Structure 1
Amino acid sequence: MWGVLSASLFFLPFNRLLAWIILAASVGIGIYHRILTPLGLGWLAIIAIAIWLHQQYRAQRAVALTLEIFLVACSVALFYHLIPGFNNPLMVVQEKAGPLSAPYSLYYNFDKALVPFLLLACLPTLFNAGRADKKVGARAWLILALCVPAVLLLAVALGGLKIELHMPPWILAFMMANLFFVSLAEEALFRGYLQQRLRPWLGAYPALLLTALLFGAAHFAGGLLMIIFATLAGGIYGLAWMWSGRLWVPVIFHFGFNLTHLLFFTYPLYQHP
């Protein structure tokens, strides 16, 4: 079912009807495999009704705003697994990518994967803001790409990571989950929605900075160093969105950052002997 769910997210920017049909199929499979309980299905029904009402009353600003706030609140709740009724399976259980790496567990999060659907209903320009900065040349993009290993090497210098090459047997499971259920969901919330909504109010760079700080704060469970590195990474993803105007660009940067971390550094953290 996870391939079906990934396919729905893949088609979401290009063909919304097809994406919703595929999502409905993944929901059905999720019910069959008991990943979705009746309680979770009830919540999905409430969210679906809210999305429908938002589309019907988009012209009435007060009603549309109220429904958008509700849908964004549901997105945050799904992001943090606060809505009950989802039995997200554990795919990797406390395995070490390498001898210096801390134990790592990987969940396939059905609830978090739904976030882009809700936010696209709130903001039709979620995937394509149409504000590409044509003044940014290839050199600037190359420097931005080089910032990815630079942040990871900074983490090594500060003692949070060590260089350690990996090719764990669960790498394919990691790649699919990280691309669709982590990177896309997080970038849809922080860059596609928050940064895009804040930009007209605050300006381009203040919106980028505030969104990066919020992205860092969202990683509070990993400790202070994780907050700092996530904030720096959020700045990279924010620039990628601001320069391109397209959500898939920071998603690829985010996925590339996480994959580089896994392949070449202790993952998720360095565990002291």
Structure 2
Amino acid sequence: MWGVLSTALFFLPFNRLIAWVILAASAGMGIYHQILTPLGATCLAVIALAAGLRHRYHAHTGLSVTLEVLLVASSLALFLHLVPGINNQLIVDGSKAGPLSAPYTLRYNFDKALLPFLLFACLPTLFNSGKAAKSVGNLAWILLILCVPLLLLLAVALGGLKLESHFPDWILPFMMANLFFVSMAEEALFRGYLQQRLTQWLGAWPALVIAALLFGAAHFPSGMLMAIFATLSGLLYGLAWMWSGRLWVPIALHFGLNMTHLLFFTYPFYQHP
């Protein structure tokens, strides 16, 4: 079912109808495999109804604004795993990528994967804003990409990571989960929706900073160093969105950073002896 859910997310930017049909199929499989309980399926059906109404009544009316607020609140609840009746599947349980790495647990999060669907219903330009907020040259893009390993090396200098290469046996499940259920979901929320909406209200640069700070705050439960690291990485992803106007660019940068982290550094962080 997770491959089916990933396929739905893949089609979402290109054909919303096909994506929702495939999502419905994955939800049915989730009910069969008890990933979704009857309560969870009912909650998601109500949220899906709100998304359908928001897509139909997209004009700036009181109803559309109310539905958008409801969908954003539902997205935050799904992001924080607060919607009842969803049993996210445990894939990796306390595995160590390497001798210096802390134990790592991976779950396939059905709830978090739904964020792009709901936010796309709120904001039709979620995946493509139509134009870049700020046009830059090739040198700026090269420097931005180079900041990915530099940011990880900064984490090494601060003691949060160590250099350590690995290729764990769970790398393929990690790649699928990280691309669709982490990078795509988080970038849809923080860059595609929040940064884009804030840009409309406050301008490009305040939106960039606020979205990055909120992204860092979302990682605060993992510690202050992780929150700082997430804020800095959020600035990189935010620049990628601001310079391109296309969501796939920060998604690719986010996924690339996470893969570089796993392959060449302690993952998810350095565990002191």
Relative to the length of structure 2, the TM-score reads 0.98
Contact 2:134 2:242 in 1 (8 A): no
1:70 corresponding residue in structure 2 = 70
2:245 corresponding residue in structure 1 = 245
1:34 corresponding residue in structure 2 = 34
2:220 corresponding residue in structure 1 = 220
**For 2:62 and 2:263, how far apart are their aligned partners in 1?**
48
Note the C-alpha offset of 1:218: 0.3
Note the C-alpha offset of 1:133: 5.6
1:100 corresponding residue in structure 2 = 100
Residue type of the alignment partner of 1:239:
L
Note the C-alpha offset of 1:52: 2.2
**For 2:160 and 2:55, how far apart are their aligned partners in 1?**
46
Residue type of the alignment partner of 1:265:
F
**For 1:134 and 1:265, how far apart are their aligned partners in 2?**
33
1:11 corresponding residue in structure 2 = 11
Cα distance 1:21–1:261, how it changes in 2: closer, same or farther (>3 A)? same
Q: Identity of paired residues, percent?
A: 72
Gaps of 5+ in 1: none
Note the C-alpha offset of 1:53: 2.1
Contact 1:86 1:111 in 2 (8 A): yes
Cα distance 1:136–1:46, how it changes in 2: closer, same or farther (>3 A)? same
1:107-144 Cα distance to aligned partner (Å, 9 max, x none) = 00001000000000000000000122674121111100
Query: How many residue pairs were aligned?
Result: 273
Note the C-alpha offset of 1:155: 0.4
Note the C-alpha offset of 1:58: 2.6
Relative to the length of structure 1, the TM-score reads 0.98
* C-alpha RMSD of the superposition: 1.0
Partner-residue secondary structure (3-state), 1:110: coil
Partner-residue secondary structure (3-state), 2:111: helix
1:207-245 Cα distance to aligned partner (Å, 9 max, x none) = 000100000000011111001000000000000000010
Contact 1:131 1:242 in 2 (8 A): no
Q: Which runs of 4+ in 1 moved over 6 A?
A: none
Contact 2:97 2:266 in 1 (8 A): yes
**For 1:180 and 1:188, how far apart are their aligned partners in 2?**
11
1:1-43 Cα distance to aligned partner (Å, 9 max, x none) = 1110000000000011111111111011111101011001100
Gaps of 5+ in 2: none
